Structure 1
Protein backbone atom coordinates (compact mmCIF):
# COMPACT_ATOMS: atom_id res chain seq x y z
CA UNK A 1 0.00 0.00 0.00
CA UNK A 2 1.27 3.44 -0.91
CA UNK A 3 0.03 6.56 0.83
CA UNK A 4 1.02 10.11 -0.01
CA UNK A 5 0.78 13.53 1.53
CA UNK A 6 2.27 16.98 1.12
CA UNK A 7 4.84 18.58 3.40
CA UNK A 8 6.41 21.99 3.56
CA UNK A 9 10.18 21.73 3.43
CA UNK A 10 10.72 24.46 5.96
CA UNK A 11 14.33 25.45 5.12
CA UNK A 12 13.16 26.41 1.63
CA UNK A 13 9.42 26.97 2.17
CA UNK A 14 8.71 24.53 -0.66
CA UNK A 15 5.78 22.13 -0.83
CA UNK A 16 6.72 18.56 -1.66
CA UNK A 17 5.00 15.20 -2.01
CA UNK A 18 5.95 12.35 0.33
CA UNK A 19 5.11 8.79 -0.75
CA UNK A 20 5.05 6.07 1.91
CA UNK A 21 4.99 2.35 1.19
CA UNK A 22 3.78 0.12 4.03
CA UNK A 23 4.00 -3.69 3.76
CA UNK A 24 0.98 -5.98 3.63
CA UNK A 25 1.49 -7.07 7.23
CA UNK A 26 1.18 -3.50 8.54
CA UNK A 27 -2.63 -3.60 8.71
CA UNK A 28 -2.90 -7.10 10.17
CA UNK A 29 -0.01 -7.26 12.62
CA UNK A 30 -0.85 -4.16 14.61
CA UNK A 31 1.83 -4.70 17.26
CA UNK A 32 4.71 -4.94 14.82
CA UNK A 33 7.16 -2.09 14.29
CA UNK A 34 9.16 -1.67 11.10
CA UNK A 35 12.53 -0.41 9.90
CA UNK A 36 12.31 2.55 7.52
CA UNK A 37 14.18 3.16 4.28
CA UNK A 38 14.26 6.82 3.24
CA UNK A 39 14.87 7.53 -0.44
CA UNK A 40 15.24 10.61 -2.62
CA UNK A 41 13.45 11.17 -5.95
CA UNK A 42 10.29 9.69 -4.46
CA UNK A 43 8.25 10.05 -7.66
CA UNK A 44 10.53 7.50 -9.35
CA UNK A 45 10.33 4.75 -6.75
CA UNK A 46 7.01 2.97 -7.02
CA UNK A 47 4.86 3.41 -10.12
CA UNK A 48 5.85 3.91 -13.75
CA UNK A 49 3.04 6.40 -14.31
CA UNK A 50 4.50 8.70 -11.65
CA UNK A 51 8.14 8.42 -12.74
CA UNK A 52 9.88 11.35 -14.41
CA UNK A 53 10.95 9.26 -17.41
CA UNK A 54 8.18 6.67 -17.46
CA UNK A 55 10.05 3.87 -15.67
CA UNK A 56 10.20 3.48 -11.88
CA UNK A 57 12.30 1.39 -9.55
CA UNK A 58 9.23 -0.84 -9.03
CA UNK A 59 9.97 -1.00 -5.31
CA UNK A 60 6.43 -1.59 -4.09
CA UNK A 61 5.86 -4.48 -6.51
CA UNK A 62 9.10 -6.12 -5.46
CA UNK A 63 8.50 -5.71 -1.73
CA UNK A 64 4.95 -7.07 -2.03
CA UNK A 65 6.17 -10.20 -3.81
CA UNK A 66 9.17 -10.67 -1.54
CA UNK A 67 7.06 -9.94 1.57
CA UNK A 68 9.79 -7.86 3.15
CA UNK A 69 8.75 -6.07 6.33
CA UNK A 70 9.98 -2.59 5.53
CA UNK A 71 8.47 0.88 5.30
CA UNK A 72 9.83 2.97 2.41
CA UNK A 73 9.53 6.76 2.48
CA UNK A 74 10.17 8.59 -0.76
CA UNK A 75 10.49 12.36 -0.80
CA UNK A 76 9.87 13.75 -4.29
CA UNK A 77 12.60 15.83 -5.86
CA UNK A 78 12.07 19.38 -7.04
CA UNK A 79 10.45 19.73 -10.46
CA UNK A 80 11.49 23.39 -10.77
CA UNK A 81 14.23 23.73 -13.38
CA UNK A 82 17.54 22.44 -12.04
CA UNK A 83 16.61 22.95 -8.38
CA UNK A 84 17.18 19.24 -7.73
CA UNK A 85 20.91 19.85 -8.21
CA UNK A 86 20.79 22.57 -5.56
CA UNK A 87 18.92 20.44 -3.01
CA UNK A 88 21.04 17.33 -3.50
CA UNK A 89 24.34 19.20 -3.72
CA UNK A 90 25.96 19.64 -0.29
CA UNK A 91 28.32 22.31 -1.60
CA UNK A 92 28.13 24.93 -4.35
CA UNK A 93 29.82 23.95 -7.60
CA UNK A 94 30.53 27.09 -9.63
CA UNK A 95 31.74 25.26 -12.74
CA UNK A 96 29.37 22.33 -13.20
CA UNK A 97 26.76 24.35 -15.12
CA UNK A 98 29.04 24.50 -18.15
CA UNK A 99 29.37 20.71 -18.21
CA UNK A 100 25.72 19.89 -17.61
CA UNK A 101 23.73 22.57 -19.43
CA UNK A 102 26.32 24.65 -21.25
CA UNK A 103 25.70 27.68 -19.07
CA UNK A 104 28.01 29.51 -16.69
CA UNK A 105 25.78 28.90 -13.69
CA UNK A 106 26.54 27.54 -10.21
CA UNK A 107 24.54 24.68 -8.70
CA UNK A 108 24.35 23.01 -5.30
CA UNK A 109 24.72 24.34 -1.79
CA UNK A 110 21.34 23.42 -0.32
CA UNK A 111 22.18 19.81 0.50
CA UNK A 112 22.99 20.37 4.16
CA UNK A 113 19.65 22.07 4.82
CA UNK A 114 17.86 19.41 2.79
CA UNK A 115 19.30 16.49 4.75
CA UNK A 116 18.79 18.35 8.03
CA UNK A 117 15.11 18.63 7.10
CA UNK A 118 14.88 14.91 6.35
CA UNK A 119 16.64 14.05 9.60
CA UNK A 120 15.10 16.49 12.05
CA UNK A 121 11.62 17.10 10.62
CA UNK A 122 10.54 14.40 8.16
CA UNK A 123 11.90 11.44 10.12
CA UNK A 124 10.25 12.49 13.44
CA UNK A 125 7.01 13.04 11.52
CA UNK A 126 7.15 9.52 10.06
CA UNK A 127 8.12 8.01 13.44
CA UNK A 128 5.08 9.66 15.01
CA UNK A 129 2.68 8.73 12.22
CA UNK A 130 3.73 5.10 11.62
CA UNK A 131 4.83 2.13 13.73
CA UNK A 132 8.52 2.46 13.01
CA UNK A 133 11.71 1.30 14.65
CA UNK A 134 13.20 4.80 15.13
CA UNK A 135 16.72 3.46 15.61
CA UNK A 136 16.56 1.26 12.51
CA UNK A 137 16.82 3.76 9.67
CA UNK A 138 18.20 3.20 6.18
CA UNK A 139 18.92 5.73 3.44
CA UNK A 140 19.37 5.34 -0.31
CA UNK A 141 19.46 7.33 -3.52
CA UNK A 142 20.82 7.38 -7.04
CA UNK A 143 22.96 9.83 -9.00
CA UNK A 144 22.76 13.17 -7.14
CA UNK A 145 20.62 11.26 -4.64
CA UNK A 146 23.63 9.03 -4.13
CA UNK A 147 25.84 12.01 -3.45
CA UNK A 148 23.50 13.42 -0.80
CA UNK A 149 23.08 9.94 0.71
CA UNK A 150 26.84 9.61 1.16
CA UNK A 151 27.00 13.09 2.65
CA UNK A 152 24.18 12.20 5.07
CA UNK A 153 25.91 9.00 6.20
CA UNK A 154 28.98 11.08 7.00
CA UNK A 155 27.06 13.79 8.83
CA UNK A 156 24.67 11.49 10.71
CA UNK A 157 26.38 8.09 10.98
CA UNK A 158 24.52 7.27 14.18
CA UNK A 159 21.19 7.63 12.34
CA UNK A 160 21.89 6.36 8.82
CA UNK A 161 23.81 3.27 9.80
CA UNK A 162 22.99 1.46 6.56
CA UNK A 163 23.03 3.33 3.30
CA UNK A 164 23.20 2.80 -0.45
CA UNK A 165 24.56 5.28 -2.97
CA UNK A 166 23.68 4.07 -6.47
CA UNK A 167 25.34 5.39 -9.67
CA UNK A 168 26.65 8.22 -7.55
CA UNK A 169 27.31 11.70 -8.92
CA UNK A 170 30.33 12.06 -6.64
CA UNK A 171 32.05 14.10 -9.35
CA UNK A 172 29.69 17.00 -8.53
CA UNK A 173 31.62 17.63 -5.29
CA UNK A 174 34.57 15.27 -5.60
CA UNK A 175 37.30 17.01 -3.61
CA UNK A 176 35.01 18.39 -0.92
CA UNK A 177 33.33 15.00 -0.44
CA UNK A 178 36.68 13.25 -0.18
CA UNK A 179 37.75 15.70 2.53
CA UNK A 180 34.42 15.29 4.31
CA UNK A 181 34.72 11.51 4.37
CA UNK A 182 38.24 11.74 5.74
CA UNK A 183 37.27 14.17 8.49
CA UNK A 184 34.31 12.20 9.87
CA UNK A 185 34.14 9.18 12.15
CA UNK A 186 32.14 6.52 10.29
CA UNK A 187 32.63 3.63 12.70
CA UNK A 188 28.89 3.67 13.52
CA UNK A 189 28.00 2.94 9.88
CA UNK A 190 27.22 -0.77 9.73
CA UNK A 191 26.90 -1.27 5.98
CA UNK A 192 27.52 1.02 3.04
CA UNK A 193 26.84 0.07 -0.56
CA UNK A 194 27.80 2.03 -3.62
CA UNK A 195 28.18 1.19 -7.28
CA UNK A 196 28.67 2.50 -10.78
CA UNK A 197 27.75 1.16 -14.20
CA UNK A 198 30.16 0.90 -17.10
CA UNK A 199 27.78 2.79 -19.41
CA UNK A 200 26.86 5.73 -17.20
CA UNK A 201 26.94 9.28 -18.54
CA UNK A 202 25.44 12.71 -17.87
CA UNK A 203 25.93 15.39 -20.54
CA UNK A 204 29.72 15.91 -20.65
CA UNK A 205 30.34 13.52 -17.72
CA UNK A 206 31.54 10.26 -19.30
CA UNK A 207 31.24 6.70 -18.07
CA UNK A 208 34.94 6.72 -17.24
CA UNK A 209 34.44 9.91 -15.22
CA UNK A 210 31.79 8.10 -13.19
CA UNK A 211 34.02 5.07 -12.68
CA UNK A 212 37.13 7.05 -11.70
CA UNK A 213 35.10 9.21 -9.33
CA UNK A 214 33.54 6.21 -7.57
CA UNK A 215 36.84 4.35 -7.30
CA UNK A 216 38.43 7.33 -5.56
CA UNK A 217 35.59 7.55 -3.06
CA UNK A 218 35.66 3.81 -2.47
CA UNK A 219 39.33 3.92 -1.51
CA UNK A 220 38.40 6.29 1.31
CA UNK A 221 35.23 4.53 2.40
CA UNK A 222 36.95 1.16 2.66
CA UNK A 223 39.20 2.66 5.32
CA UNK A 224 36.33 4.26 7.25
CA UNK A 225 33.45 1.74 7.09
CA UNK A 226 33.90 -1.80 8.39
CA UNK A 227 31.45 -3.32 5.89
CA UNK A 228 31.59 -1.41 2.61
CA UNK A 229 30.60 -2.96 -0.72
CA UNK A 230 31.51 -1.41 -4.06
CA UNK A 231 30.41 -2.81 -7.41
CA UNK A 232 31.24 -1.87 -10.98
CA UNK A 233 28.21 -3.13 -12.90
CA UNK A 234 29.04 -4.23 -16.43
CA UNK A 235 26.79 -2.67 -19.07
CA UNK A 236 24.64 -0.74 -16.58
CA UNK A 237 23.32 2.64 -17.72
CA UNK A 238 22.29 5.71 -15.73
CA UNK A 239 18.55 5.18 -15.43
CA UNK A 240 15.73 3.77 -13.30
CA UNK A 241 15.53 0.54 -15.30
CA UNK A 242 19.11 -0.28 -14.32
CA UNK A 243 18.51 0.65 -10.68
CA UNK A 244 15.30 -1.39 -10.62
CA UNK A 245 17.25 -4.46 -11.68
CA UNK A 246 19.79 -4.25 -8.89
CA UNK A 247 17.56 -2.98 -6.09
CA UNK A 248 16.76 -6.49 -4.73
CA UNK A 249 20.40 -7.37 -4.14
CA UNK A 250 21.17 -3.94 -2.73
CA UNK A 251 18.35 -4.26 -0.23
CA UNK A 252 19.38 -7.81 0.61
CA UNK A 253 22.85 -6.55 1.49
CA UNK A 254 21.56 -3.65 3.60
CA UNK A 255 19.09 -5.78 5.56
CA UNK A 256 21.01 -9.02 6.03
Structure 2
Protein backbone atom coordinates (compact mmCIF):
# COMPACT_ATOMS: atom_id res chain seq x y z
CA UNK A 1 0.00 0.00 0.00
CA UNK A 2 1.22 3.49 -0.83
CA UNK A 3 0.10 6.93 0.19
CA UNK A 4 -1.13 9.32 -2.48
CA UNK A 5 -1.17 13.09 -2.96
CA UNK A 6 -4.13 14.79 -4.60
CA UNK A 7 -4.17 18.33 -5.95
CA UNK A 8 -7.35 20.42 -6.08
CA UNK A 9 -6.71 23.34 -8.40
CA UNK A 10 -8.34 26.74 -8.10
CA UNK A 11 -10.35 26.20 -4.92
CA UNK A 12 -12.40 29.37 -4.62
CA UNK A 13 -13.00 31.36 -1.45
CA UNK A 14 -16.04 33.60 -1.30
CA UNK A 15 -14.75 35.11 1.94
CA UNK A 16 -11.42 36.16 0.44
CA UNK A 17 -12.54 36.49 -3.19
CA UNK A 18 -9.62 34.50 -4.56
CA UNK A 19 -8.61 31.00 -5.64
CA UNK A 20 -5.78 28.71 -4.55
CA UNK A 21 -4.69 25.08 -4.80
CA UNK A 22 -5.17 22.45 -2.12
CA UNK A 23 -2.72 19.57 -1.68
CA UNK A 24 -4.13 16.49 0.05
CA UNK A 25 -2.17 13.55 1.45
CA UNK A 26 -4.12 10.30 1.75
CA UNK A 27 -2.48 7.66 3.96
CA UNK A 28 -1.53 4.20 2.66
CA UNK A 29 -4.65 2.45 3.90
CA UNK A 30 -7.20 4.97 2.67
CA UNK A 31 -8.10 3.13 -0.53
CA UNK A 32 -8.14 -0.29 1.15
CA UNK A 33 -10.91 0.25 3.70
CA UNK A 34 -14.11 1.95 2.58
CA UNK A 35 -15.53 2.17 6.11
CA UNK A 36 -12.61 3.64 8.03
CA UNK A 37 -12.53 7.34 8.89
CA UNK A 38 -9.40 9.43 9.50
CA UNK A 39 -8.27 12.41 11.57
CA UNK A 40 -7.22 15.46 9.56
CA UNK A 41 -4.24 17.81 9.84
CA UNK A 42 -4.66 21.16 8.08
CA UNK A 43 -1.41 22.96 7.24
CA UNK A 44 -0.77 26.45 5.87
CA UNK A 45 1.68 27.19 3.01
CA UNK A 46 0.50 24.00 1.33
CA UNK A 47 2.65 24.32 -1.79
CA UNK A 48 5.71 23.69 0.40
CA UNK A 49 4.52 20.55 2.18
CA UNK A 50 5.08 17.90 -0.49
CA UNK A 51 6.87 19.79 -3.26
CA UNK A 52 9.71 22.33 -3.51
CA UNK A 53 8.09 25.77 -3.75
CA UNK A 54 8.41 29.34 -2.44
CA UNK A 55 12.03 29.03 -1.22
CA UNK A 56 12.80 26.02 -3.42
CA UNK A 57 12.58 23.57 -0.52
CA UNK A 58 9.96 21.09 0.63
CA UNK A 59 8.85 19.98 4.07
CA UNK A 60 8.56 16.44 2.63
CA UNK A 61 5.69 15.98 5.04
CA UNK A 62 4.43 12.97 3.09
CA UNK A 63 7.69 11.11 3.67
CA UNK A 64 7.61 11.89 7.39
CA UNK A 65 3.98 10.78 7.65
CA UNK A 66 4.72 7.57 5.74
CA UNK A 67 7.60 6.76 8.06
CA UNK A 68 5.71 7.50 11.29
CA UNK A 69 2.70 5.50 10.13
CA UNK A 70 4.88 2.56 9.07
CA UNK A 71 6.61 2.32 12.44
CA UNK A 72 3.41 2.80 14.41
CA UNK A 73 4.31 6.18 15.91
CA UNK A 74 1.09 7.81 14.64
CA UNK A 75 -2.22 6.59 13.31
CA UNK A 76 -3.04 7.05 9.66
CA UNK A 77 -4.09 10.64 8.97
CA UNK A 78 -5.21 12.87 6.13
CA UNK A 79 -3.11 16.01 5.59
CA UNK A 80 -4.59 19.02 3.82
CA UNK A 81 -2.14 21.66 2.60
CA UNK A 82 -3.65 25.08 1.89
CA UNK A 83 -1.57 27.07 -0.57
CA UNK A 84 -0.78 30.66 0.37
CA UNK A 85 -1.45 33.54 -1.99
CA UNK A 86 2.10 34.87 -2.29
CA UNK A 87 1.96 38.62 -1.79
CA UNK A 88 -1.28 38.23 0.19
CA UNK A 89 0.29 35.78 2.66
CA UNK A 90 1.19 38.38 5.30
CA UNK A 91 -2.27 39.93 5.11
CA UNK A 92 -4.18 36.66 5.34
CA UNK A 93 -2.08 35.43 8.23
CA UNK A 94 -2.61 38.56 10.34
CA UNK A 95 -5.49 38.96 12.80
CA UNK A 96 -6.36 42.56 13.79
CA UNK A 97 -6.73 41.72 17.48
CA UNK A 98 -5.95 43.69 20.65
CA UNK A 99 -2.20 43.78 21.26
CA UNK A 100 -1.22 42.93 17.67
CA UNK A 101 0.96 45.79 16.40
CA UNK A 102 0.57 44.98 12.74
CA UNK A 103 1.02 48.67 11.86
CA UNK A 104 4.66 48.25 12.91
CA UNK A 105 5.32 45.11 10.89
CA UNK A 106 8.12 45.06 8.33
CA UNK A 107 5.46 44.78 5.62
CA UNK A 108 2.56 47.11 4.90
CA UNK A 109 -0.24 44.97 6.33
CA UNK A 110 -3.94 44.98 5.58
CA UNK A 111 -5.08 42.30 8.05
CA UNK A 112 -7.37 39.63 6.58
CA UNK A 113 -6.88 36.97 9.24
CA UNK A 114 -10.54 36.93 10.27
CA UNK A 115 -11.58 36.30 6.66
CA UNK A 116 -8.91 33.61 6.30
CA UNK A 117 -10.22 31.98 9.48
CA UNK A 118 -13.75 31.96 8.04
CA UNK A 119 -12.40 30.55 4.78
CA UNK A 120 -10.64 27.72 6.57
CA UNK A 121 -13.52 26.82 8.89
CA UNK A 122 -16.52 27.66 6.72
CA UNK A 123 -15.29 26.70 3.25
CA UNK A 124 -12.31 24.32 3.25
CA UNK A 125 -13.23 22.11 6.20
CA UNK A 126 -16.82 21.42 5.04
CA UNK A 127 -15.48 20.63 1.58
CA UNK A 128 -12.91 18.14 2.93
CA UNK A 129 -15.40 16.55 5.34
CA UNK A 130 -17.87 16.15 2.48
CA UNK A 131 -15.38 14.71 0.00
CA UNK A 132 -13.27 12.43 2.22
CA UNK A 133 -13.87 9.97 5.05
CA UNK A 134 -12.83 12.20 7.90
CA UNK A 135 -13.40 12.28 11.63
CA UNK A 136 -14.82 15.81 11.69
CA UNK A 137 -14.80 16.51 15.44
CA UNK A 138 -12.32 18.85 17.10
CA UNK A 139 -10.56 15.98 18.89
CA UNK A 140 -9.53 14.60 15.49
CA UNK A 141 -8.83 17.88 13.70
CA UNK A 142 -5.46 19.65 13.93
CA UNK A 143 -3.98 22.86 12.51
CA UNK A 144 -0.28 23.55 11.86
CA UNK A 145 1.97 26.22 10.36
CA UNK A 146 5.37 27.87 10.63
CA UNK A 147 6.51 31.49 10.96
CA UNK A 148 3.52 33.66 10.01
CA UNK A 149 1.68 30.38 9.52
CA UNK A 150 2.52 29.50 13.12
CA UNK A 151 1.11 32.81 14.30
CA UNK A 152 -2.16 32.42 12.40
CA UNK A 153 -2.41 28.84 13.71
CA UNK A 154 -2.14 30.23 17.24
CA UNK A 155 -4.83 32.86 16.69
CA UNK A 156 -7.28 30.58 14.88
CA UNK A 157 -6.70 27.65 17.22
CA UNK A 158 -7.12 29.60 20.45
CA UNK A 159 -10.20 31.36 19.08
CA UNK A 160 -11.84 28.19 17.73
CA UNK A 161 -11.03 25.16 19.91
CA UNK A 162 -14.46 23.85 18.94
CA UNK A 163 -13.01 23.20 15.48
CA UNK A 164 -9.31 22.48 16.07
CA UNK A 165 -8.42 20.39 19.09
CA UNK A 166 -4.68 20.16 18.35
CA UNK A 167 -2.22 22.85 17.23
CA UNK A 168 1.30 22.69 15.79
CA UNK A 169 2.95 26.11 16.09
CA UNK A 170 6.43 26.08 14.53
CA UNK A 171 8.81 29.04 14.91
CA UNK A 172 5.88 31.46 15.19
CA UNK A 173 6.19 35.06 14.05
CA UNK A 174 5.18 36.48 17.43
CA UNK A 175 7.48 39.51 17.24
CA UNK A 176 8.98 41.73 14.60
CA UNK A 177 12.36 43.05 15.72
CA UNK A 178 13.58 46.17 13.95
CA UNK A 179 17.10 45.24 12.77
CA UNK A 180 18.39 48.80 13.29
CA UNK A 181 16.86 49.84 16.61
CA UNK A 182 16.31 46.27 17.96
CA UNK A 183 12.88 47.47 19.08
CA UNK A 184 10.37 44.64 19.45
CA UNK A 185 6.86 44.88 18.02
CA UNK A 186 4.36 42.32 19.25
CA UNK A 187 2.43 40.39 16.61
CA UNK A 188 0.20 38.20 18.78
CA UNK A 189 -2.85 38.67 20.98
CA UNK A 190 -3.23 37.42 24.55
CA UNK A 191 -6.31 35.49 25.58
CA UNK A 192 -7.56 35.82 29.19
CA UNK A 193 -8.97 32.30 29.57
CA UNK A 194 -7.45 28.89 28.96
CA UNK A 195 -8.54 27.26 25.73
CA UNK A 196 -9.79 23.64 26.01
CA UNK A 197 -7.32 22.21 23.51
CA UNK A 198 -6.11 18.63 23.85
CA UNK A 199 -2.57 19.23 22.51
CA UNK A 200 -0.41 22.23 21.62
CA UNK A 201 3.12 21.98 20.22
CA UNK A 202 5.20 25.17 20.10
CA UNK A 203 8.85 25.25 19.07
CA UNK A 204 11.44 27.78 17.96
CA UNK A 205 14.16 27.01 15.47
CA UNK A 206 17.32 29.16 15.46
CA UNK A 207 19.88 28.81 12.72
CA UNK A 208 22.64 30.37 14.76
CA UNK A 209 23.04 32.47 17.89
CA UNK A 210 25.17 35.61 18.05
CA UNK A 211 27.30 35.20 21.16
CA UNK A 212 28.21 38.89 21.17
CA UNK A 213 24.58 39.95 21.68
CA UNK A 214 22.98 39.68 25.09
CA UNK A 215 19.26 39.76 25.78
CA UNK A 216 17.58 38.61 28.96
CA UNK A 217 14.60 37.36 26.97
CA UNK A 218 16.77 34.60 25.51
CA UNK A 219 16.09 35.60 21.91
CA UNK A 220 18.86 35.39 19.33
CA UNK A 221 20.27 38.46 17.67
CA UNK A 222 17.76 39.78 15.09
CA UNK A 223 20.64 40.62 12.75
CA UNK A 224 21.72 36.98 12.52
TM-score range, shorter chain: 0.7 to 0.9
Q: Which consecutive residues of structure 2, in runs of 5 or more, have no partner in the other structure?
A: 70-74, 177-183
Q: Secondary structure at the match of 2:141?
A: strand
Q: Secondary structure at the match of 1:25?
A: coil
Deviates more, 1:139-148 or 1:164-173: 164-173
Deviations 1:184-224 (A, max 9, x none): 440x20111111123379xxxx9x799649xxxxxxxxxxx
Choose the corresponding residue for 1:15, options 15, 19, 30. 19
Match of 1:120 in 2: 122
Choose the corresponding residue for 2:82, options 72, 75, 79. 75
TM normalised by structure 2 equals: 0.79
CA distance in 1, matches of 2:37, 2:6: 18
User: After TM superposition, where is structure 1 displaced by more than 3 Å over at least 4 residues in a row?
Assistant: 172-176, 208-213
| Distance change >3 Å, CA 39–CA 210, structure 1 → 2 | farther
Match of 2:5 in 1: 2
CA distance in 1, matches of 2:89, 2:208: 19
Contact 1:35 1:132 in 2 (8 A): yes
Equivalenced residues, count: 195
| RMSD (CA atoms) | 2.7
Choose the corresponding residue for 1:89, options 94, 103, 121. 94
Choose the corresponding residue for 1:195, options 192, 203, 221. 203
**Larger Rg, first or second structure (1 or 2):** 2
* 1:171 CA displacement: 1.2
CA distance in 1, matches of 2:150, 2:21: 20
Deviates more, 1:148-157 or 1:59-68: 59-68
| Distance change >3 Å, CA 143–CA 9, structure 1 → 2 | same
Contact 1:41 1:74 in 2 (8 A): yes
Contact 2:11 2:22 in 1 (8 A): yes
Match of 1:163 in 2: 167
Does residue 43 of structure 2 align to residue 35 of structure 1?
A: no
CA distance in 1, matches of 2:33, 2:26: 12
Superposed, 1:1-256 pairs within 5 Å as 1-5=4-8, 6-48=10-52, 51-67=53-69, 68-79=75-86, 81=87, 83-91=88-96, 93-97=102-106, 106-135=108-137, 136-171=140-175, 175=186, 177-179=188-190, 181-182=191-192, 184-186=193-195, 188-199=196-207, 212=219
Contact 1:149 1:165 in 2 (8 A): yes
CA distance in 1, matches of 2:44, 2:7: 14
Q: Higher helix proportion, which one?
A: 1
CA distance in 1, matches of 2:14, 2:111: 16
Contact 1:169 1:210 in 2 (8 A): no
Q: Secondary structure at the match of 1:192?
A: strand
CA distance in 2, matches of 1:175, 1:74: 27
